[in-house]
Amino acid sequence: MNNLKNELIALHTIETDQIQGQFKKIAQLLMGKYAIEYNGRNFLLDEIEFYFCSSNHIDVYSHSINEKNMNECISKDNNEQGKMLHWYFHGSGIDITFGDKDKGIYGGILIRKIFDIQNAKVIGGPLKLREHILGGDTSKSVECKYKVGNANIEKSDLKLITL
């Protein structure tokens, strides 16, 4: 987990022209060396999407963009994208976060597609895979959000594990 954390932290200080390359490096690491584990089931990451907002990289699709000034990242209430390695459950799916609110850096990696190892099945779509991982029951999703979601990855029942 330290290698992943170090690569994510590197995004906080690298030059703008190096960000895309760092995204690629992190994507290869996540999709090649990690899986999600929940309730004894494992899921490989198959497709992810980065959202990153900082003073040198404005992402208008980030949940931390200031709608009144699209050239500014701000901390919104309960903005999980301002934390490092937390699960962030939101209306579009599940993110792995990599921000630092104190430095005005907000980031999330949206999980777009997974491979369910036990069922040998690909699940595409951020909302479909969120429900699939959590058991397919919307009430479980809501319960999980408040029990283990929006929580530190290393201390949650929903885990990111090394392969």
What are the pLDDT digits (tens) for 53-79?
886 766 655 656 555 565 666 666 557
pTM above 0.75, yes or no: yes
The torsion angles phi and psi of 33, rounded to 5 degrees, stand at -130, 0
Q: What is the pLDDT along the chain (163 residues), one digit of tens a residue?
A: 889 999 999 999 988 899 999 999 999 999 999 999 988 899 999 999 998 888 676 665 565 655 556 566 666 655 778 889 988 887 788 889 998 888 888 889 999 999 999 999 999 999 999 888 887 544 444 444 444 445 677 667 788 999 9
Strands 34-38 and 41-53: antiparallel
Q: Note the pLDDT of residue 32.
A: 96
CATH no. for residue 71? 3.10.300
What pLDDT, on a 0 to 100 scale, did the predictor assign at position 57? 67
Alpha carbon distance 158, 95 (integer Å): 12
Domain that holds residue 11: 2-162
Is the Cβ–Cβ distance between 135 and 39 less than 8 Å? yes
Question: Residue 116, SS3?
Answer: strand
Q: What is the pLDDT of residue 9?
A: 94
Report pLDDT for 156. 74
Query: What's the domain count of the chain?
Result: 1
**Measured between alpha carbons, how far is 98 from 152 in angstroms, rounded to an integer?**
11
